[in-house]
Structure 1
Amino acid sequence: MTFKPALVIVDVQEDFCPPHGSLAVQEGRDIVPALNELLSLPFAVKIATKDFHPPDHISFASNHPPPDNKPFASMYTITNPLNPEETQQTRLWPDHCVQGTKGAELVPELHVSKVHHIVEKGQDKRVEMYSAFADPFTNPNVSRSKLAQILHDEGITDVYVAGLAADYCVKFTALDARKEGFRTWVVGEATRPVDPGSMPEVHQEYQKAKISVIDKDEAVRMVKDL
């Protein structure tokens, strides 16, 4: 069976990491050594993604009027700007990963020199975009990144996903990778969640979608001899 794997490292940016990130994931920085070990492997394609928001992004609590504009707590219903009959409910967040700010930068200890492509996402202020592939609207999509095209053009068969955060951008990136037709693997120990209590439900979603959660050493065994 053909095996041509790609590594997708999701959103390992300053704003998602302690100690100063505006939306820091607990222990988010601790996964970087595992990510660097993965980057040393002979993946056919190595990609890092970045949240890259304009300052007026719809997911920022600061862009909504009180009282329903509390970061982490308030929810907001987004209407597909291309189809008013399609809506998505999203959580509102602190301002994060704003274009041109330090918070949007990949953390310096990540071995970015080994990355083949950096894929930016979340630039359309009108829609949330957790997945590194596309926003959640389907009828039609509003915003798509270049990720799917890169992977298909390279003839990739398997996508290995790691990064931040396990219960948001990693999860939706993995689910979309599966929808794009790739065998999909999540390197569990190279991720961290916003809410650890959500992970059993995330794993149920993976099981339903036929996505495998593996540890780093298993990923190493699968890829090292290519």
Structure 2
Amino acid sequence: MAFFKPALIIVDFQEDFCPPNGSLAVANGGDIAPVVNQLLDLPFVVKVATKDWHPPDHISFASNHKDAKAFQTSITIQNPLNDEETETTLLWPDHCIQNTPGSQLVPELHINKITHIVEKGTDKRVEMYSAFQDPFPTPVSKSSLAHLLKSVGVTHCYVVGLAYDYCVKYTAIDAAKEGFKTFIIREGTKPVDPSPENIAKLETALQEAGVSLIGHEDAELKRIQNLPPPDAVASSHGI
């Protein structure tokens, strides 16, 4: 059998992204919990939960821009390290502010089975959908995720969480860029915009980036079921 060390990445399964009280709730976002918990029972080498972990003056919050409206106003962010690089982003309601109830992982998640927590979006100057780094070619903010995965020899990444068309999308694309064989498990994610047009565009972009889309009963996951329990990996919960 070819060398196979799989990792589970649970993206931003946090209170602010889930109904009924989340400030940026994804419709039916909490419904992914049974599938995510089922995956946590499998012998992945590492099981990572990522967290948006924003300062209150984060650039993506509409409240930090005069006359801006969440979900409506877009801004162009200039890379503070290279003024030739720019990114246009939609502004959002305040969400996942550090150490607030909305920033916490949802209680339905079996947190005791997670081996590592990785925080992202901590630099107020840049948007960061991906759990690996911000979108600039010259990155301003990078998380510890790539180093963590490579340090334990991960070969394959399986991605779930919120939201499918933002942080899950860009995390999976960056995982593929980092050289991991990458999968998104459809039942383990929900989109902000569920329209057929958006999903078709999203899935074309993922496939072009080398990301595979599978179901939670796909034969690909049965490979993991048959693995022996992983060697002990030092836990780094960050909380």
User: What is the aligned partner in structure 1 of residue 205 from structure 2?
Assistant: 205
Tell me the percent identity: 60
Residues 173, 210 of structure 2: 8 Å contact kept: no
Match 1:159 to one of 133, 157, 160: 157
User: What is the aligned partner in structure 1 of residue 224 from structure 2?
Assistant: 223
User: How far off is 1:154 after superposition?
Assistant: 0.7
Q: Confirm or deny that 1:192 pairs with 2:190.
A: yes
In structure 1, C-alpha distance between the alignment counterparts of 2:143 and 2:190, rounded to whole Å: 23
Structure 2 runs not aligned, ≥5 long:
228-239
Q: TM-score if structure 1 supplies the norm length? A: 0.97
In structure 2, C-alpha distance between the alignment counterparts of 1:196 and 1:212, rounded to whole Å: 19
User: What is the aligned partner in structure 2 of residue 26 from structure 1?
Assistant: 27
User: How far off is 1:194 after superposition?
Assistant: 0.2
Q: Confirm or deny that 1:150 pairs with 2:151.
A: no
User: How far off is 1:222 after superposition?
Assistant: 2.6
In structure 2, C-alpha distance between the alignment counterparts of 1:116 and 1:171, rounded to whole Å: 22
In structure 2, C-alpha distance between the alignment counterparts of 1:39 and 1:72, rounded to whole Å: 33
Give matches, 1:52-91, under 5 Å.
Answer: 52-66=53-67, 69-91=68-90
Structure 1 runs not aligned, ≥5 long:
none
In structure 2, C-alpha distance between the alignment counterparts of 1:80 and 1:206, rounded to whole Å: 25
Residues 36, 160 of structure 2: 8 Å contact kept: yes
User: Aligned to 1:170, what secondary structure does the other structure show?
Assistant: helix
User: Aligned to 1:175, what secondary structure does the other structure show?
Assistant: helix
User: How far off is 1:10 after superposition?
Assistant: 0.2
CA displacement 1:153-208 (0-9 Å, x = unmatched):
01000000000000000000000000000000000111000001221111101111
Q: TM-score if structure 2 supplies the norm length? A: 0.92
User: Aligned to 1:168, what secondary structure does the other structure show?
Assistant: helix
CA displacement 1:108-131 (0-9 Å, x = unmatched):
110010011000000000000000
User: What is the aligned partner in structure 2 of residue 170 from structure 1?
Assistant: 168
Q: Confirm or deny that 1:38 pairs with 2:36.
A: no
CA RMSD of aligned residues (A): 0.7
CA displacement 1:72-126 (0-9 Å, x = unmatched):
1110000000011110000000000000100000001100100110000000000
User: Aligned to 2:170, what secondary structure does the other structure show?
Assistant: helix
Q: Which runs of 4 or more aligned residues in structure 1 lie more than 3 Å from their structure 2 counterparts after TM superposition?
A: none
> What one-letter code is carried by the residue in structure 2 that aligns with 1:52?
W
- Comparing 32-41 with 208-217, which one deviates more in the overlay? 208-217
